[in-house]
Structure 1
Amino acid sequence: MKKMITIAMLFAIAFNVHAQSHKTQNIIIVTLDGMRWQDVFRGADSALINSKFTNDKDEVKKKFWAPAAAERRKMLFPFLWSVVSEKGQVYGNRDLGNKDEVANQYRFSYPGYNEIFTGFPDVRMNTNDAIVNPNMNVLEFINKQKGYAGKVIAFSSWERFPQILNVNRSGLPVYSGYADLKNADANARLKFLNDLQKDVPRYLGDSTRSDFITYEFTKEYIKQYKPRVAYMAFDETDDMAHEGNYKAYLERARQEDGFIRTIWEMVQADPFYKDKTTLLITCDHGRGEMPLDSWRNHGADVKGAEQTWFAVIGPDTKVLGEIKTPTSTYHKQLAQTIAQLLGLDFKANAGHEVGEAITTVFK
């Protein structure tokens, strides 16, 4: 018993030291729905470029192809591989033995986002339907902490996040799909975006708006309201993959990398955020690889759909670059990692388990 108490005391002391010394006061979280680790780390896939899934093959090769994987991936994700990898950490290159995975068995969106934000895979979260998530999420937890109330915001292209984040219970402002921003004092640009999204072509259907609109809302909201925690959820990489359009999938991925760069450069130029903000980028699930047609799909029956990745950069993150150690991380660990980057310890009031933080992220 004495030994157990001593270990617990030592852990508490260590956590308190971290909480006192950490520099991160704000965090930006970005997800790219269904973005494969293979493309993140290897760049464009020659098998897919030369397949029926790619139109304008010569144009795609000009934009995205180079002989070496290191060149190709930088062409696809220039910000990730020129800034984040140089000053932060990137996890999930299975070619090097470094594995990042979802722990849930379903391997599609709602279960994936539940795992990221609640810290555990819940077998009840097994649908993309509009069921209300009973589990406390880390954004809700942060919003209840001193100094963070009313300073947490989420914008998503997919309409399902009000249920995933349980806005009726959490009270979080979550603007998903074609929902208007409701702030009466919103600036002219935000009001224009409310109007614009009603008129843009709904090529993704009535449930998912353009990632460009989601990005513009997030960017302008950060400029005006200075949230402490902002979540931006993109969707078009998943949509283009399901359509079997590899060219559009690559183009959306590079565009979203550019969106992330713009927001990161914007916050680093703002004294409110500069050197006090951590950026975490990830996805909700992986996709298939073999047979080739399986790249379009994911789910419990798709081999490889559990394989994911994440990246992090900020003042409390060791500069390790691409993680090359043969270790495994899981998305159920991200909620506690997010909390501890802010000097907090995520405790779920509902009593559900919470995955341990990924300790290698921290200095």
Structure 2
Amino acid sequence: MKKLAFVLLAALAVSPAMAQRKTKNLIIVTLDGMRWQEVYRGADSALINSKFTNDKEDVKKRYWAATPQERRAILFPFLWNTVAKQGQLYGNRDAGGKDEIANPYKFSYPGYNEIFTGFPDVRMNTNDPIVNPNMNVLEYINKQKGFEGKVIAFSSWERFPQILNVNRSGLPVYSGYSGLKNADANARLKYLNELQQNVPHYVNDSTRSDFVTYEYSKEYLKQYKPRVLFMSFDETDDMAHAGNYKSYLEFAKQEDGFIKNLWEMVQADPFYKNNTTLIITCDHGRGYAQLDSWRHHGSDVVGAEQTWFAVIGPDTAPTGEVLTGTTYHKQLAQTMALLLGLDFKANAGHEVGDAIKSVLTGK
């Protein structure tokens, strides 16, 4: 009898990775270099009134309000009217929450490596097109039963084929101005292959418009029904580096609108409705110690390690802002896997950060 009781207890003690999840599909969206300050405070009065903002009165009219709560809802209406009510947000330092990158370099390639490999590798200290030796969680998911060929990435920045090591991983990664190669692609996707070559190149001839990246992601989702979609925007970082605060705010609000439209489309689709989790985050923060440092990030920039993320889905308790403890982006890879009932094991042998259990438990 004692042995039988022990067996029953052991059977009930299912590990979190093996627990039954409602999440069957996953969408990850990144806003490159988007500061937590605007996410939680809205538009910054010091920057609006600085040399970094042209047409100050127009910016005040469009983005300013008396309180941070009002301003952030103006700038990120989807985050604050939907995710904050139905999901969770992390990284509001004003209220005691902390979310950070663990890598010491505080710029894009190391940041994305950390998010997707769960490993703040000190060797990843470049934005050059070096091939990432670390196994990533998208690659891992794509090899699991039921997910084969159902993982896709679209990014504005051209570096993701190297970050996600497409030659080894076999992941379809459409970055920069690369066009979709599927022979059976619908007319809209084929048109986007042509359109992206003719839209204005805001940054350079390698990084495409976030609008086109969004349109690719949306149309691919409609036709092919991937189980995991990664969509990466870039223009918030570009406008910050350019010192253009008005455009930084405009692109942030536009991207919030893209995510809202995508989520509404997902919730209207029987394939995705009520079984899809959405994670929204960034790759690094920006400076704050001096006014000019908002434009910059890197190992010598105070505050560039400070980040944020948000999550909404059927397994995530609607607790709103999570204000206890510190979370790290190295934990996001295992969190993504855990949401799908998987346990991310990197066969390259590198460490993987522990999952953020409060995403699932609310505690």
Tell me, yes or no, whether TM beats 0.5: yes
Please tell me whether residue 247 in structure 1 is matched to residue 241 in structure 2: no
Counterpart residue type for residue 335 of structure 2: T
* Cross-structure match for 1:188: 187
2:298 is paired with a residue of what secondary structure? coil
Residues paired across the two proteins, number: 354
Structure 1 residues 203-237: Cα deviation after superposition (integer angstroms, max 9, x where no partner): 21012000000000000000000000000000000
Deviation at 1:14, TM superposition (A): 3.2
Residue 13 (1) aligns with residue 13 (2)? yes
TM-score (norm 1): 0.96
Q: Which residue does 2:340 correspond to in 1?
A: 342
- Helix, strand or coil at the partner of 2:310: strand
Indicate the residue corresponding to 2:260 in structure 1: 261
Residue type of the partner of 1:361? Answer: V
Correspondence 1:47 to 2:41: no
CA contact (8 A) 2:288 2:303 kept: yes
Does the CA-based 8 Å contact 2:315-2:339 persist in structure 1? yes
Aligned-partner Cα distance in 2 for 1:320–1:219: 28
Query: Match for 2:281: what amino acid?
Result: T
CA deviations over 1:174-212 (Å, ceiling 9, x no partner): 000000100000000000000001111212101200000
Q: Which secondary structure state, in structure 2, belongs to the residue aligned with residue 267 of structure 1?
A: helix
Kept in 1: contact 2:98–2:323 (CA 8 A): no
**Partner deviation per Cα, 1:64-112 (whole Å, 9 max, x = no partner):** 0001000000000000000000000000000111100000000000000
Partners of 1:112 and 1:167 in 2: CA distance: 18
Task: Mark the CA change 1:264 to 1:158 in structure 2 (over 3 Å): closer, same or farther.
Answer: same
Q: Secondary structure at the match of 1:279?
A: strand
Structure 2: tracts of 5 or more residues without a match:
1-5
Cα deviation for residue 319 of structure 1 reads: 1.0
Question: What is the TM-score normalised by the length of structure 2?
Answer: 0.96
Superposed counterparts of 1:272-283, under 5 Å: 272-283=271-282
Deviation at 1:11, TM superposition (A): 11
For residues 101-159 of structure 1, the C-alpha deviation after alignment (integer angstroms, 9 at most, x for no partner) is 00000000000000000001001100000000000000000000000000000000000
Query: 1:152 and 1:192 mapped to 2: Cα distance?
Result: 22
Q: What is the 5 A alignment of 1:187-336?
A: 187-325=186-324, 327-336=325-334
Task: Give how far 1:13 is off.
Answer: 3.3
- Write out aligned runs for 1:106-185 (5 A): 106-185=105-184
Change (3 A) 1:11 1:204: farther
SS at match of 1:21: coil
AA matched with 2:55? D
Question: Secondary structure of 1:362's match?
Answer: helix
How far apart, in 2, do the equivalents of 1:20 and 1:244 lie? 47
Structure 2 counterpart of 1:13, one-letter code: A
Cα distance in 1 for partners of 2:14, 2:333 equals 19
Q: Distance in 2 between matches of 1:237 and 1:357?
A: 28
Which letter maps to 1:121? P
Question: What is the alpha-carbon distance in structure 2 between the residues aligned to residue 244 and residue 203 of structure 1?
Answer: 14
Runs (4+) of structure 1 moved beyond 6 Å?
Answer: 9-12
- 1:313 deviates by 0.3
Alignment-mate amino acid for residue 233 of structure 1? S
Q: Are 2:94 and 1:95 equivalent residues in the alignment?
A: yes
Structure 2 CA distance for aligned equivalents of residues 12 and 150 of structure 1: 33
Among all aligned residue pairs of Structure 1 and Structure 2, give the percentage whose two residues are the same amino acid. 75
Cα pair distance change 1:338/1:12, threshold 3 Å: farther
For 1:144 and 1:197, how far apart are their aligned partners in 2?
31
Deviation, structure 1 residue 310:
0.2
Structure 1 residue 21 displacement after superposition:
2.3
Would you say the 8 A contact 2:77–2:256 is kept in 1? Answer: yes
1-structure distance, mates of 2:327, 2:117: 16
Residue 44 to residue 134, structure 1, CA distance change in 2 (3 Å)? same
Identify unmatched segments of 5+ residues in structure 1: 1-5
Which residue matches 2:3?
none
Counterpart in 2 of 1:351?
349
Aligned mates of 2:90, 2:274 — CA distance in 1:
22
For the structure 1 residues 131 and 10, does the alpha-carbon distance in structure 2 shift closer, same or farther, using more than 3 Å as the test? Answer: farther
